[in-house]
Amino acid sequence: MPRSLIEVTPEALATQPFLHGMSRDHLAVLAEAAADTTFPARHRLFEDGGSASRFWLIQSGYVALDLHVPGRGRIKIDTIGIGEVLGWSWLYAPYQWAFGAESASAVEATGIPEGAAVAGCATWPPGPRSSAAS
């Protein structure tokens, strides 16, 4: 069973490669909803076709991505590790996991719900945007 650890701070999120360069204000929005979590080895994080509503920033350990193949079961297709992002399916309709995921070892990760990511990134990058197609 996953276990929540300590409160996530904007400063902690700033160390994540994926969030490099994001403003402290945006990081604060993400940190408010984020949760540091641990998963034991062989824990099933999600199944392909399930509802995708968050992503994780992997801090330690590895997660195997797999795909269910009829007649063959789950086939491992990739491994996500330290410093990488797990879970992009919440970005695209139909907002369902495209693959399954299982921790290949004990994993420490920061989970961020899609709602916080959308709210925190709605104005990213900061500043006015030019429109060449006006």
Position 40 scores a pLDDT of 97
Which amino acid, 108?
E
Tell me what pLDDT residue 134 has. 33
pLDDT at 20: 87
- This prediction's pTM: 0.81
Distance CA 92, CA 42 (A): 27
Residue-level pLDDT at 124? 52
What the block records as the tokens of 34 is 């984020």
**pLDDT tens-place values along the chain, 134 residues long:** 555 556 899 999 999 999 988 889 889 989 998 999 999 999 999 999 999 999 999 999 999 999 999 999 999 999 999 999 999 998 888 999 999 999 999 999 999 988 777 765 565 555 443 333 33
Q: Where are the domains of the chain?
A: 3-121
pLDDT score at 38: 95
Map tokens 């993400």 to a residue. Answer: 30
Residue pair 66/75 in contact by the 8 Å Cβ criterion = yes
Residues forming beta bridges with residue 103, ordered by sequence position: 63
- What residue type is 68 in one-letter code? H
Q: Indicate the DSSP class of residue 93.
A: T
What topology does CATH give the domain 3-121? Jelly Rolls (2.60.120)
Phi-psi category of 68—alpha, beta or left, where left has phi over 0 and alpha has psi -120 to 50? Answer: beta
